[in-house]
A and B are shown apart, each in its own frame.
Chain A
Amino acid sequence: MHSPYSRGLAGHVNFTDDHLYICTDTNFWKRIDLDKSKWFAPESIAISLNSGNYPSITEIYFSGLNAIVNTDGDPFPAKSSTNLQNDGVTPRLDFFNAYQITDKDQSFSFRYRGGKNSASPESAVSGFNGMFANGVFFASPRAGTESVGIYTPPTGFHYNRSHFATHFKMDDCGGYVNFDRAYSYYNGNFLTRCWDDPLVYNNNPYYKLILLFLYLGVIGLAGAVQNRPQGSKILAILVLVGFLDIPIIHYSVNWWQTLHQGASLQLLAKPTISGSMLWPLLVMIVGLMSYCAAVILRRAQIQVLHQEQRCNWVKQWVQHHG
């Protein structure tokens, strides 16, 4: 099933403007089409209440994609069974108001994902009312039997990470915020987009290009020389000179200003790689070195046998091993 996330665990939820995705099993997502008007109906969320013990005036209107909320700002939730006038002047000393918050006009602007509110503002629905496209939960103050402390956010108000991940998708570094609220990368686009950028990674290919030319030169020279023993000496000198390029490639990272990442493995320093990658890497290095040594020695053996074919030891060797 298609989803912005191919990986997920049962219970993960994610949505776009059009679809709701529910992870029903590991890496298996169920897609549900969203009806925008049902998802967030603007007609039902106006919150003006001019009557009762705690009157407040709140206007909600829409300007473009933004929902504008103007309120006279009841800064402190009204407590049930108390009778206080919200005149905007009298401080509510009967409440726990450590920060001496007074009434203050508020004007909020939210990006809104539903349609336009053509209806007149209605009475507020207590608690959770809706959600805006910037991930803000829209909740009205709650008047109930429970006391509401100023240290806890309103019910239903929290950082909406699934929406954040969907809305912002991959950022310029290829990452996103995952369901565990950690910054993560989800596919190879990260490597393409980040590591291809010379501002991030500069791999100095020119020394490797020189090495390629040297290698081609060695092959060409080996094919061109007729006089074998002398040609071999010339070849050997070329190889030794060419090998000088290897440490230049290796240390160019440190010698010249570059954005290449530093060495991960050093002889005398603690490796910066995590153990789960370090040991496979070391095993593979040893394995590849052993393989290369074996193949090179075998090739050298063939070469020596050809060159020394007239010698007695070759005859003896062939009789023993041939």
Chain B
Amino acid sequence: MAEILQAMTALGAHGPARVAVGPLSITERVDLALASVAERRGRGADLVGAASPAGLPLPGPARYQAGTPFGTFWVAPGMWFAEAPFASHEWIADQLRAALGDAASITEQTDAWVIFDLVVVGEGVGLASLLERLCNVDFPAAPDGFATRTVMDHLGIYLIRQGAGAARIYGPRSSAQSLLHALEAAARAVW
């Protein structure tokens, strides 16, 4: 009898990982689809015109902008990463291609990354003491919605600030376990 195929997460499990260290919770996100959008040369105006009705924000450098259905962050001049709920946007690349036509080059990224949401609870407790051990981003000085590529434990990652005590990390999927270990080890040194 045929069994229903079940997708595995980046950590080889059937459900998202959840780790709690003191006031910090690390939650793997497996419910997001991801694609990159790269503007084609000389087609910037066409891309802006097509992106807005598609619900695709195109934020400026080092910024994340939420939208419906796409949340987008800037990764390079003329290039963005767009995330959307996996349930409705499993075919995110095809959906973006249909919306943007040939104004941009779209690349599916969903299974190339592992996503961790970091949240600390408590008054006056932020992520600064954790992130200053892991990367060279000045997290307390960065505004909410700040998005940047940086290095964490020798891994190139994207860090998005959602608040003083909340951040999202995109790391290479093939190094998911190493990244989670680095986050846990640093968290245990702090809390």
On whether the two chains bind one another, the answer is: no
- Which residues of B are interface residues toward A (Cβ below 8 A)? none
- Which residues of A are interface residues toward B (Cβ below 8 A)? none
